[in-house]
Chain A
């Protein structure tokens, strides 16, 4: 079945340190992997995404890596800042017609000043 596992559930880092969140997916037909940031009282907002034909993508302090063989993908945030504190969700879309997102459980990131 379709499932995405995300770890850790909570992550606390000091400002300036790096944070890494990992996800695994079960459906080998998944081919698009977005990461969403959810701040309190708001809906999920896309921060970065990666397609299955790419191994790594970077956008300033944020990077995502994908290992298709192992069905793993990870979010890396460098030089963390207090405003990075939020809940982060990974997700996967399989190559179907509906664009349905399968979400991970979420990671609460706390960046301590």
Chain B
């Protein structure tokens, strides 16, 4: 069964350092997302990406964040200068088509980011 894969599974970084979280969405999917989940809290939307551009972003997704789909298969989330409060589980998701009602979002297993 096709799946969304994320690497690394766990990333520890020093505050102020840049991190890149990587995702390989399902190959024929067209819509891509990053979500995050701070420990014990709900899953929060960060950004959606379609046709090589951001289609929507949340208030969390400030200038420190960026996304890229550099080679048609990988989808990356970059945090330029990490803060302690960026520590969370980050999930990548993809949708095949019809990004509105009725289409299943497939999630990766997540990357746990710990900023120390």
Contact = CB atoms under 8 A, between A and B. Distances in A.
A98 B56 contact: yes
Interface in A64-113: 89, 93, 95-106
Contact of A46 (B33, B91, B100, B105): B105
Given A98-B55, A100-B45, A101-B105, A93 B91 contact: no
Interface in B78-92: 91
B75 interface: no
B115 interface: no
Interface in B9-37: 31, 33, 35
A31 B106 CA distance: 19
Grouping DSSP codes into helix (H, G, I), strand (E, B) and loop, the A interface class, with mixed when no group exceeds half, is: loop
On chain B, which size bracket covers the interface? Answer: 20 to 34
A104 B37 CA distance: 12
Nearest to B45: A100
Contact of A43 (B31, B44, B107): B107
A97 B99 contact: yes
A89 B107 CA distance: 13
Contacts of B110: 42-43
B105 A34 contact: yes
Given A99-B48, A99-B99, 10 more contacts: A34-B105, A43-B91, A43-B109, A44-B107, A93-B101, A100-B33, A100-B56, A101-B33, A101-B35, A103-B42
Interface of A: 31-32, 34, 36, 41-46, 49, 51-52, 89, 93, 95-106
Interface of B: 4, 6, 31, 33, 35, 41-45, 48, 50, 55-56, 91, 93, 95, 99-110
